[in-house]
Amino acid sequence: MTANNTANGPIIEVHDLTKRFRRPAKEPGLRGAVRHLFRPEYENITAVENVNLSVRPGESLAYVGPNGAGKSTTVKLLTGILVPTSGTVMVNGLTPFEHRIENARNIGVVFGQRTQLWWDIPVIESFRLLGDIYEITEDQFAASFAELSDVLDLEPLLKVPARQLSLGQRMRCDLAASLLHQPPVLYLDEPTIGLDVSVKARFRQFIRYMHRERGLTVMLTSHDLGDIEELCDRMVMIDKGKIVYDGALNEITARFGWERSLHLTLTEPDKSAVETASRALAKRTGAVASQPEPTVVTVTFDSREASPGELIRDLATVLAVTDIRIEEPSAESIIRRLYEGDLQFETTNS
């Protein structure tokens, strides 16, 4: 694997990257369409705003965020598909949109739901065509193909047309297709969507192998926390176009994990339990009571404002409680709640 003139520096470097789209603001229906024809109005949508990112060679990075947060736009900016509105992008010493073709040789891209194989021809022929497109020499092709075919167990699939492959088989072939030209950087966009558990495990195993043994730089966008946990040393989270977290996955609990839950089991069903609890917690800011079951009251609270002990003291005197459980936040629950918009990001510096 070669990395052009970036021996020790970052392999991906992004400065103040911003992408705004201009979208026609049409009113619905024919009238709106006609009006737009004569007096076009547009609205600007900022998909990515002042993103800064630096990825070292051999790093594996998870790029996460809720739908519409700007993940795909960032990947498209990094791969040279889109031209940024402002800011700079350097991948392997090249600006992708200015040197789209040269940049394409340095990267592999896997789009989870789409295949890059030719639908109707045997897989091996797709590989050969890609060899031609990427101008790989015979020797390079043979060496690269032998390794990929071995690790991904492609032998039985080679003569099958892509349309007859199962999703898992196709993913294996697509991975090989994106790495035949031995790029130093691999972008994976939602790679495990629709894959079953065992295929997922195999996929992760392969990426780990390429990452550890071949020093492949991996940038993964995924909603699957398993992918992120198993594959990535680092997680970057984006929301509404801005980066809100950049660090190790398990450290997110330290940053955002101040929200705790207290589960109180009551001795008997009590319809007014929430009211009673709320009254008792009136002076505690950020504490919210709910009653998921007739005999359970759940209180979520901000551990910076009050300790669990204080809350238990408040509540135990007004409610008949038999059992108490304190829920520590997991990275998964935090990410899920961030996604759901339940939890607000603190975009101020930490």
Partner 1 sequence: MTRRFDPRRFRRNARLYLKLQLIQLRTAVEYRADFWIGIIGASLMNGAGLIFVVALFGQIDDIAGWSGWEVAILYGLALIPRGLTELFCDGPWTLRMMLNQGEFDRLLVRPTSPALQTTTQLASIHGVGQLTLGGTAFWLGVNRTDLDWTLWKAGFFLVILVSSWIMLCAINFLVNLIGFWEPSTQSAIPTAYAMLIDFAKFPLDIYSNAIKVLITVVAPYAFISYFPAIVLLDKESSWRWLGLASPLVTLIVVLLTSWLWGRALNRYQGVGH
Summarize as ranges the residues that interact with partner 1 (CB under 8 A): 19-22, 76, 79-83, 85, 97-98, 100-102, 104-105, 107, 109, 111, 114, 116, 118-121, 125, 129, 132-135
Closest to partner 1 by CB, 76 or 170 = 76
CB 129 to partner 1: min, Å: 6
CB 183 to partner 1: min, Å: 10
Closest to partner 1 by CB, 72 or 291 = 72
Nearest to 178 by CA among 205, 144, 140: 144
CB-CB contact of 195 with 167 (8 Å): yes
CB-CB contact of 299 with 326 (8 Å): no
DSSP string, 274-341: HHHHHHHTTTSTT-EEEEEETTEEEEEEETTT--HHHHHHHHHTTS-EEEEEEEPPPHHHHHHHHHHT
Q: What's the gap between Cα 14 and its chain centre?
A: 17
Closest to partner 1 by CB, 219 or 299 = 219
Distance in Å from the first CA to the final CA of the chain: 37
Three-state DSSP class for 263?
strand
Q: Which helix (H) or strand (E) holds 5?
A: none
Nearest to 107 by CA among 93, 123, 127: 93
CB 17 to partner 1: min, Å: 13
CB 73 to partner 1: min, Å: 9
Closest to partner 1 by CB, 109 or 237 = 109
Closest to partner 1 by CB, 163 or 325 = 163
Closest to partner 1 by CB, 106 or 169 = 106
Closest to partner 1 by CB, 83 or 343 = 83
CB 243 to partner 1: min, Å: 20
List Cβ neighbours of 173 (8 Å cut-off, separation of 6 or more): 115, 117, 123, 126, 152, 154, 157, 162, 165
CB 326 to partner 1: min, Å: 46
CB 112 to partner 1: min, Å: 12
Nearest to 281 by CA among 269, 265, 264: 264
